Amino acid sequence: MTTLGEIAVVAGAYLRGCDAATVIVGVAPLHRAEPGYLSFLTHRRYRACLETTRATAVILSPEDAASCSTPAVVAANPHVAYARAAALFAPVAESRRGVHCTAWVSPDSHIAADTWIGPHCVVEAGAVIEAGVVIGPGCVIGEYAIIGANSRLVAQVTICHRVRLGQRVLIHPGAVIGSDGFGLALDSKGRWLKVPQLGSVLIGDEVEIGANTTIDRGALEDTVIEDGVKLDNQIQIAHNVHIGAHSALAGCVGIAGSARIGRHCMLGGGVGIAGHLEIVDHVQITGMSLVTQSITESGVYSSGLAVEPNRIWNKISARLRRLDEIFRRLAALEKKSNRDGTL
């Protein structure tokens, strides 16, 4: 529990029509909030819910506060304010230290005294685990890997040899960091020859990596994820990719080898990035887009077609198949018109 006054301080907001001493027991969406709960409005489609919500107070923008009769926590950026307020109600993981009896830790590793290594973990020789690290059940830490201070590996995370994690990194279950990149050479007999992947993966500070996301080690140089990057679930990042600081990638993004993503970029779900491309800072790519050439100017980019009723899509598809024919006919007409002097 906390008070509205404390919430306002944490959220960088101010109160309107509220008693700062009012106690709040939790957070809830507008349509489900009960008295004693804090709610929020971050999208205009939910404005109608302001009239019927039973929340004790609502986090919203100054513009929305003007039409809200409910006590308000007013913030310039309600989404950020909500994130900060909700953190006050997030469960705190139990603080533990030591090594579980079922874990295997190499005597040649270097483990800080105030870390926790959970059940069935493996820590290989030369690994360094710094202060305050929490390693959940079933994790594997490879040889000479470094886990930065106050990082947390939730469960079943694999950190391969020589991978380096910065401080306060959060990795969710099933992620694999530092497996071999997809490096193959085709010999004269048509057989694939594996190219050794001699680089590693360098993860910056305060990076979050979602469940079952995979980040391949570099072929020669490192794959690099800079500070503050946020990766959703089931993302594939190939060898030698470089992602700039504070970029955010939604689920099922796939980035081919040696692509470079700038800082403060946002990639929607299912975006595909071809290899060896460069995307500048402050680029937003909408979901399911395919990027096949470098992007040299900041802005919002899209590709693909949105869903349509099947009968309409069938017509669109049929017309798309005729585009080349139509283009050829148009070019022939233009050529004839130019020859006849009618244009």
**Hey, how many other C-beta atoms are within 10 angstroms of the C-beta on 306?**
8
Whether 171 contacts 212, CB under 8 Å: no
**pLDDT recorded at residue 168:** 98
**pLDDT recorded at residue 304:** 85
For the chain, list residues with pLDDT below 50. Answer: none
Residues in the chain: 343
Distances from the Cα of 260 to the Cα of 119, 224, 294, angstroms: 37, 9, 9
Distance CA 188, CA 168 (A): 48
Alpha helices, DSSP H, located in 180-273: none
Both tokens of 299, joined, read 């802005």
**pLDDT recorded at residue 44:** 85
Q: State the catalytic residue, choosing from 31, 110, 120, 239.
A: 239
**pLDDT recorded at residue 260:** 98
**pLDDT recorded at residue 271:** 98
Look up the pTM and report it: 0.91
Q: Mention every residue, 6+ apart, whose C-beta is less than 8 A from residue 238.
A: 181, 182, 216, 223, 255, 256, 257, 258, 259, 275
Distance CA 185, CA 182 (A): 10
Q: Residue 239 catalytic? A: yes
**pLDDT recorded at residue 192:** 97
